[in-house]
A and B are shown apart, each in its own frame.
Chain A
Amino acid sequence: MTDTIAPPSPAITAGELFPKRRKRRRLGPGKRIPYGTFIGPAVVLAIWALASWLGALNWRTLPAPWTVVTTGIHLWHTGTLKPDILVSLRRAALGFAAGASGGIILALLSGLSRVGEALIDSTVQVKRAIPSLGLIPLFILWMGIGEGFKVAIIAIGVFIPIYINTFAALIGIDTRYVELAEVVQLSRWQFIKEVVIPGALPGLFIGLRLGVVGSWLSLVVLEQINATSGLGYMMYQATNYGQTNVICVGLVIYGIFGFASDRLVRITERKVLSWRTTLSN
Chain B
Amino acid sequence: MAHDAQQLEPAVRVRGLVRRFGDRVVLDGLDLDIARGEFVALLGKSGSGKTTLLRTLAELDHDVEGDGEFVTPERLSVVFQDSRLLPWRRIVDNVLLGATGREAPARGRNALAEVGLAGRERAWPSELSGGEAQRAALARSLVWEPELLLADEPFGALDALTRTRMHALLRELCERHHPAVLLVTHDVDEAVVLADRVLVLADGRIRVDLHIDIRHPRSYRDSRLGEYREQLLNALGVFEDLQTASA
Contact = CB atoms under 8 A, between A and B. Distances in A.
B146 to A, nearest CB: 10
B60 A276 contact: no
Contacts of A181: 97-98
Interface residues of A, number: 20
Contact of A177 (B86, B124, B126, B144): B86
A176 B58 CA distance: 14
B185 interface: no
A277 interface: yes
Interface stretch (B5-13, B37-45, B76-84, B158-166): B76-84
Interface in A166-184: 176-177, 179-184
A47 B58 CA distance: 66
Interface string B88-104: 11000000011100000
A73 interface: no
Nearest to B88: A198
B86 A198 contact: yes
A186 B125 CA distance: 20
Contacts of A177: 84, 86
A194 interface: yes
Q: Which of A179, A183, A186 has the most CB of B within 10 A?
A: A183
B6 to A, nearest CB: 27
A179 B86 contact: no
B98 A186 contact: yes
Interface string A196-207: 001101000000
A183 B78 contact: yes
Nearest to B93: A194
B219 to A, nearest CB: 24
A6 B126 CA distance: 38
Q: Which of B89, B98, B125: most chain A Cβ within 10 A?
A: B98
B87 interface: yes
Contacts of B84: 176-177, 179-180
Contacts of B78: 183
Contacts of B86: 177, 180, 194-195, 198-199
B82 A275 contact: no
Contacts of A201: 88
Contacts of A180: 80, 84, 86, 97
Interface of A: 176-177, 179-186, 190, 194-195, 198-199, 201, 273, 275-277
20 contacts: A176-B84, A177-B84, A180-B80, A180-B97, A182-B60, A183-B60, A183-B77, A184-B140, A184-B144, A190-B98, A194-B97, A194-B98, A195-B86, A198-B86, A199-B86, A275-B87, A275-B88, A275-B125, A276-B87, A276-B126
Closest 8 CB pairs of A and B: A184-B98, A198-B88, A183-B78, A275-B124, A275-B88, A186-B98, A180-B84, A184-B97
Interface of B: 58, 60, 77-78, 80, 82, 84, 86-89, 97-99, 124-126, 140, 144
